[in-house]
A = this chain, B = another copy of it.
Amino acid sequence: MSQAVKSRRADQDARRTAILDAAAEVFFEQGYAAASIDAVIERIGGSKRNIYSMFGSKEGLFIALVTENARRLFDPLVNEGTVHKDLRETLTDFAIRLLHLFMSRRMAGVYRVVVSEAARLPDLAASFYRNGPDLAASWVADILAQACARGEIQVDDPKLAAQRFMGILRGNLYMEIVLDLSRPMDSAEIDNTARSAVDLFLNGVKTKS
């Protein structure tokens, strides 16, 4: 019996992730309002009934979609952030991973829909920001505060400095990606960009000597 129950639950989970995958394609491609439940169902077969019993409504599906994708995208960034002995190395490492994240199609998709629905779903926007970019900035701010305490750099406000570091990394390129005007960088370009961005930042905050 537990066998049967288990396999049924497994089916449910598989179905759920299939729906979310299909929904990602549709919603991230076309935006919330233009996306239709029918379009989601077309990609995986089955019935709309299914979506409504699992997610309650179009909005419910959307919120689940954004929440899970945001978590999956940002979790590794912060949790797998390794702190090296050398500040430059730590920041470069982070920069590379942040740029990879920003260059991913999935990230651009999530960002686009969160932006466009922010007015209607403020809680979703807030949770995206706090569990994503803001969390990452806090992680960097910690690193910077420690380096500051060691006298390696001089920053008045570590959080602000961290946000500016992330700003250097994004530059205008992230806007180009979000607007779909530019091909994402490949790994080699990301490495170079990360390195020179860290150079600029560390020069900027270095203690005078």
Contacts and interface: CB of A to CB of B under 8 A. Distances in A.
Interface of A: 29-34, 111-120, 122, 125-126, 128-129, 133-134, 137, 156, 160-161, 163-164, 166-173, 175-176, 178-181, 196-197, 199-206
Contacts of A113: 116
A204 B203 CA distance: 4
A128 B180 CA distance: 12
A43 to B, nearest CB: 17
Contacts of A112: 115-116, 118-119
Contacts of A32: 33
B180 A171 contact: no
Contact of A122 (B164, B180, B200): B180
A144 B164 CA distance: 19
A125 B177 CA distance: 11
Contacts of A29: 119
